[in-house]
Amino acid sequence: MYWEPEIEQLPSTRLQQLQLERLRKTIDRAGRSPFYRQQFAAAGVASGKLQHIDDIRSLPFTTKDDLRNHFPYGFLTVPKDGPVRLHCSSGTTGNPTVIFHDQHDLASWANLVARSLYCAGVRPTDVFQNICGYGLFTGGLGFQYGAEHLGALVIPAAAGNSRRQIKLMQDFGTTAVHTIPSYLLRLHNVFTELGLDPRRDTDLRMFVIGAEPHSEGQRRRIEELFGVSAYNSYGLSEMNGPGVAFECREQNGLHIWEDCFVVEIIDPETLQPLPDGEQGELVLTTLDRQAMPLLRYRTRDLTRILPEPCPCGRTHRRLDRISGRSDDMLILKGCNIFPMQIEKVLMRFAEVGSDYLIVVENCNGSDEMQIQVEVQKEWFTGNMEALENLSRKISHAVRDEILVTPAIRLVEPGSLPKSEGKAVRVQDLRKPQESV
């Protein structure tokens, strides 16, 4: 049931003590980097001043802009010949964010992913198909090394080529798959085109999904289509990648591994801490990384800590699913809108297909929203009245959720642009000065 029972069941008081010990060491190590050396000198930071884990609030925040502004080596705590791997973002709009790992960091990361997968139900007897990008993206190698460390047979399938993915599943008896949730909805369409039923024609028993926000409705739809359980995962490259927090078999929140991360929830406006149960921005601190530790990193992801203990017996606290980001919020007609709010509504409709696209643009001085929604194939029968009724129902339901009435455009299945990576859900076509 547990990968590391002595860690996963550690009483909260002992877990906090372990965190404090590791935080002090992390501060001492971080102070060797050019960035934190300057930060600590300005703020009077010293590891000996911390008497309780809550004293972490006296430390300054770290942001993505800090990583970009001190690219490439400003956060490195070891000589340049110390790291053995780096991962970074694409950097298409400026300097990328880069994270360095030494041998210790890679071993710790692989163990965290193995612990996470075991927590969700992956076992050494599984055939694990990793359907995501490799290379600089952390999901490929992160899950690869973690699943191998667990002892599973790993198929490094990479992203795309759905027919080949299905053939691999059938040839090698794939039982567990990791991929992004939006891809699974598209993959099921290919099963249908081939005249195959994943329930009958594969050995699939579970999915691990993550890397893009998704609603509970989308998870349940995936489970119904494939007849397997789907487990939510959370990670970000700044904190290694996958393996930061994971659902257990209870599927009621993501256990965040507190022996390796300090978790805080703050108000993104006031930057003040919020109590367990209240939604805010997730802030994370690494506790077991040597080459490039990060302190109080503002993830911009919005979530909350679930205060109740988990029936699985793990003592590490749980995060609710990510509801959006503090920096991808749309402001329309004075209303704050997150794309996940809209997805949650769309997934209530059985007629809605795999994909949708939110388009916001300024028309004659007024910001307007159109939601392009793929509809199940059987609904395109020429019955315009039925489609118009469906469009009105969706529009009213979305309005009730976000307080803005969108235009709904129903489109045929497969007609929206598809991406090999994370699904593109929003096109904001407004000029910056015209946004309200």
Domain 1-326 homologous superfamily, CATH: ANL, N-terminal domain (3.40.50.12780)
Q: Helix (H) and strand (E) counts for the chain?
A: 12, 21
How far does the chain reach from its first CA to its final CA, in angstroms? 51
Which is nearest to 225 in space by CA: 176, 185, 178?
Answer: 185
What pLDDT, in 10s, does the model give residues 240-284?
999 999 999 999 999 999 999 999 999 999 999 999 999 999 999
Give the Å distances, CA to CA, from 347 to 125, 362, 422: 34, 27, 18
Q: Are 238 and 67 in contact (CB under 8 A)?
A: yes
What class is the 330-434 domain? alpha beta
- Pairing status of strand 127-130 against strand 176-179: parallel
62 secondary structure, DSSP code = B
Give residue limits of the domains in the chain: 1-326, 330-434
Over range 68-91, report the average pLDDT.
92
What does the pLDDT read at residue 410?
A: 94
The rounded percent of the chain whose pLDDT value lies above 70 is 96
249 secondary structure, DSSP code = T
What pLDDT, in 10s, does the model give residues 408-430?
999 988 899 877 677 888 998 88
Give the Å distances, CA to CA, from 397 to 133, 216, 347: 35, 17, 11
The yes-or-no answer to whether 1-326 and 330-434 have a common fold is no
Please report where in the chains the tokens 């017996």 appear, as a residue.
Answer: 313
What does the pLDDT read at residue 94?
A: 62
Per the document, the length of the chain is 436
